[in-house]
Structures are given as structure tokens and as C-alpha cells.
Amino acid sequence: MKNRTLAIIKPDAVRAGHSGKILDRIIQENFTILGLKQTWMSLEKAQGFYEVHMGKPFFEELTIFMSSGPCILLALEKESAIDAWREVIGATDPQKADAGTIREEFANNMGENAVHGSDSVENGAKEIEFFFSNSE
Ligand code: CDP
Ligand code: MG
């Protein structure tokens, strides 16, 4: 069944000029782009987005990083988009990411790992709603 994932090209990848290649990969992989925009998150917005990780040792560094510059937000749809996108991006730790994945190719380290993907159908819908209005 078709479902939806939020994808984020994180500030490290935007800064490094990898956005074009990552967008091209999204199109090649046949995701339908329902929404796309660039935003510079406030620290508060980043803290809200990563609320589930609040209290973890990497939370502060993560939210400062996510608000350190512009990122590109995408609402993507495809057959099993959640699983398909997580397969394309690879493991959270780029050292463990499979060859050919976006994180293996573009991520710097566990924190600055180039892209985000939702982890469940329910969270995909929630995360898209967190950043996009219906008209977007
Ligand atoms: O992004 P993903 O779902 O693969 O990983 P997560 O466990 O939901 O963690 C969210 C984000 O926090 C990761 O993408 C990393 O940017 C960051 N993180 C980190 O800096 N250090 C960790 N030990 C775990 C996650
Ligand atoms: Mg996650």
C-alpha cells in the first residue's frame, strides 16, 4: 500500500551542496513529491520535531545542529514509502550504512548524517503535518 514519509535534507548536506544529488536520487527512486520547501528551523522547532529524543545525551547537539542552517523538507509518497526511504538512506550511523545509501555517500558522522526519514506510517503522517499545511 502507498504511504507517506517525511524526508529532510539536513543542514550539513545542504551546506555541502549535496541537495541536487539527493533530490535526483529521490526522483530516480520513483517517490512522488507531494510537498517540498526549504526552511531554517528555530531551535524551538527542532526541539519540537525531535521531542521523542528529549533527555537523550545527543538531544542538545542534535537540535542545535538541525537549527544551524537551512534544510529541505519533503513529503514523499510511494508504495511502502516509509520502508523504501529508510532503505535508500541507510543506517543512522554512516559507518554502518550499506554501500549505495545516501548516508554512506554523504553523511559525516552519527549526528550530521545528511538526511531524515520517518520510522512508521503513523509518524510519517504526524511529521508531514508538523511541517506542511494541506495547501503546501
Ligand atoms: O534518524 P534516524 O531515525 O535514523 O535515527 P534516530 O535514532 O531517530 O535519531 C535521530 C537523529 O539523532 C539521528 O538521525 C542523528 O542525527 C541523531 N543521533 C545522534 O546524534 N546520536 C545518536 N546516538 C543517535 C542519533
Ligand atoms: Mg528516527
Atom index in ligand 1 nearest the CA of residue 112 equals: 16
- Reported as a pLDDT band with limits 50, 70 and 90, residue 1 is very high
Pocket test for ligand 1, best of 62, 83, 85 (most atoms within 8 A of CB): 62
Please, which pLDDT band fits residue 67 given cuts at 50, 70 and 90?
A: very high
Q: How far is the CA of 117 from the centre of ligand 2 (A)?
A: 7
Phi-psi domain of 66 (left: phi exceeds 0; alpha: psi -120 through 50; beta: other): alpha
Query: Who surrounds ion ligand 2 at CB < 5 A?
Result: 119
Task: Judge contact between 118 and 127, C-beta under 8 A.
Answer: yes
User: Angle at CA 26, nearest 5°, toward 84 and 69?
Assistant: 110
101 touches ligand 1 (CB under 6 Å): no
Active site residues: 116
Query: Considering Cα of 106, then 37, then 76, then 32, what sign does the dihedral take?
Result: negative
Percent of the chain with pLDDT over 70: 100
pLDDT score at 112: 98
Atom nearest to 119 CA in ligand 1: 3
Predicted TM-score (pTM) of the model is 0.98
Task: Tell me, in angstroms, the distance from the centre of ligand 1 to residue 36's CA.
Answer: 22
Is the CB of residue 109 below 6 angstroms from any atom belonging to ligand 1?
no
Question: pLDDT tens-digit profile of 80-109?
Answer: 999 999 999 999 999 999 999 999 999 999
**Mean pLDDT value of segment 58-66:** 98
